Structure 1
Amino acid sequence: MVNVEKTNQTLLRKFAEKQDYEKRKIVFWYEKDETADEDSFAQIEEELAKHDIKIKVLADNFYEVKKFLEVEDTASNYLINSQDEERGPEDNWLLDIQMYSG
């Protein structure tokens, strides 16, 4: 079970660590072992929305998410949430984005 308050604090701290060169912040959250239930996730989403942070769910849609972040919405802050383990470098289509993000 996810501690919503602690998770919100940690995520907001990550988004606050924006570097001078960053126009926006993208944070990846892989939660394979500590899955948030729907209510907890809704509370986290609500808190992030107050800070103009959007959530994009990463499932088996790596190319779709990559295109979305690099073409369709290049200005918004995003939490990329995945219920799976992080993929290895050779299988992770988002590795380049992760390298310059959090």
Structure 2
Amino acid sequence: MAGLGPLEIGLIILAILLLFGYKKLPDASRSLGRSLRIFKGEMKGMKDDDVRTKDAAKTTPVRGEVLPPAGPDAAALEAEARAAEARAAELRARAGGRPGATDSTR
């Protein structure tokens, strides 16, 4: 397949000038530029969404899996979880293992 030569390019430019007229060409060019910019932005947004989805999939636990907390508050969260477990065990002990027994302090 041969590329476009100077004669073909000249004919295409002449056809565009005849179709749109020389006064409307700058507006048409601006409009085309804006459309391409918007299209590029949307494509980049879709690519960013894909990356975020993949990152979320990495941090989403599989059924039954418990992920360790991340970040600077990890130790505080673990301590709070241990305290909550201890309170739950204490409430179970107070209930004496009776079925349907609840905490009366609520």
TM-score normalised according to structure 1 size: 0.23
- Which structure is higher in strand share? 1
TM-score normalised according to structure 2 size: 0.22
- Which structure is higher in helix share? 2
Structure with greater Cα Rg: 2
